[in-house]
Amino acid sequence: MGNFDLLMQGFGTSFSVANVLLAIAGGFMGLLVGAMPGIGAVTGVALLLPLTFKMDPTSAIIMLAGIYYGNMYGGAYSAILLNIPGDSPAVMTALDGYPLSRQGKGGKALFAANISSFIGGSIGIVTLTLFGPLLAKVGLKFGPAEIAALILLALTSIGWLLGDDPLKGIVASALGILLSTVGMDSMAGGAGRYTFGSVNLLSGFSFIPLVIGMFGLPQVMELMSKKEEGDILTTGPRLTLKESILTKEELKRIIPTAIKSAILGNFVGFLPGAGGTTASFLSYVMEKKTGKNEKEMGNGALEGIAASEAANNAAAVGAFAPLLTLGIPGSGTTAVLLGGLMMWGLQPGPLLFIQQTDFVWGLISSMYIGNLACIFVGLVMIPFLMSILRIPRGIIAPIIVFICIVGAYSVNNNMFDVWFMVGAGVIAFIMQKHQYPVAPILLAFVLAPRFEQAIRRAFSISNGSAKIFIEKPISAALLLITAVFILAPVVMRLVKKVKAK
Partner 1 sequence: MDIVIVIIEILVAIVWIQQGVVRYVFWENGRPGGGFVPVIFAVIVLAAALAILIKVVFGKNQKETYVFQPSAFMPVVAAVLGGFMLQVGGIGFSVFLFTSIWMRFLSKYSWVKTLITSAIFTFFIYGIFRMWLRVPFPQGFIFQLF
Pairwise CA distance, residues 173 & 437, whole Å: 9
Q: Would you count residue 490 as binding partner 1 (CB under 8 A)? A: no
Q: Scanning residues 448 to 477, which ones bind partner 1 (CB under 8 A)?
A: 448, 451-452, 455-456, 459-460, 463-464
Pairwise CA distance, residues 47 & 39, whole Å: 9
Q: Would you count residue 217 as binding partner 1 (CB under 8 A)? A: yes
Q: CA separation (Å) from 86 to 133, 142, 198, 250, 388?
A: 31, 29, 28, 25, 16
Q: Which of 12, 190, 339, 398 binds partner 1 (CB under 8 A)?
A: 398
Q: Would you count residue 42 as binding partner 1 (CB under 8 A)? A: no
Q: Which helix (H) or strand (E) holds 421?
A: helix 415-433
Q: Which helix (H) or strand (E) holds 369?
A: helix 357-389
Q: Which of 3, 9, 13, 181 binds partner 1 (CB under 8 A)?
A: 181
Q: Would you count residue 231 as binding partner 1 (CB under 8 A)? A: no
Q: Check: CB of residue 13 under 8 Å from CB of residue 360.
A: no
Pairwise CA distance, residues 276 & 267, whole Å: 11
Report the SS3 class of residue 354: helix
State the nearest-atom distance from the C-beta of 466 to partner 1, in Å: 11
Nearest to 443 by CA among 249, 296, 329, 276: 276
Q: Which DSSP category does 186 fall into?
A: G
Contact segment (CB under 8 A) with partner 1 among 7-15, 66-74, 93-101, 396-404 equals 396-404
Q: Which residues contact 218 (CB under 8 A, 6 or more apart)?
A: 425, 428, 429, 432, 438
Pairwise CA distance, residues 86 & 7, whole Å: 33
The type of residue at 220 is V
Q: Which of 1, 130, 426, 492 binds partner 1 (CB under 8 A)?
A: 426
Report the SS3 class of residue 279: helix
Contact segment (CB under 8 A) with partner 1 among 241-249, 285-293, 334-342, 393-401 equals 393-401
Nearest to 385 by CA among 45, 37, 80, 30: 80
Contact segment (CB under 8 A) with partner 1 among 259-267, 323-331, 357-365, 411-419 equals 411-419
- Bridge partners (DSSP) of residue 183 are 193
Which is closer to partner 1, CB of 16 or CB of 460? 460
Contact segment (CB under 8 A) with partner 1 among 32-40, 68-76, 77-85, 280-288 equals 32-40
Q: Scanning residues 253 to 282, which ones bind partner 1 (CB under 8 A)?
A: none
Q: Which of 22, 24, 25, 32 binds partner 1 (CB under 8 A)?
A: 32
State the nearest-atom distance from the C-beta of 158 to partner 1, in Å: 12
Nearest to 311 by CA among 268, 254, 274: 268
Q: Would you count residue 429 as binding partner 1 (CB under 8 A)? A: yes
Q: Would you count residue 385 as binding partner 1 (CB under 8 A)? A: no
State the nearest-atom distance from the C-beta of 312 to partner 1, in Å: 23
Q: Check: CB of residue 193 under 8 Å from CB of residue 464.
A: no
Binding mask 45-84 for partner 1 (x = CB under 8 A): --x-------------------------------------
Binding site for partner 1 (CB under 8 A): 32-33, 36, 39, 47, 167-168, 170-171, 174-175, 177-178, 181, 185, 187-188, 191, 193-194, 217, 220-222, 224-225, 227-228, 233, 392, 394-395, 397-399, 401-406, 409-410, 413, 415, 418-419, 421-422, 425-426, 429-431, 433-436, 448, 451-452, 455-456, 459-460, 463-464
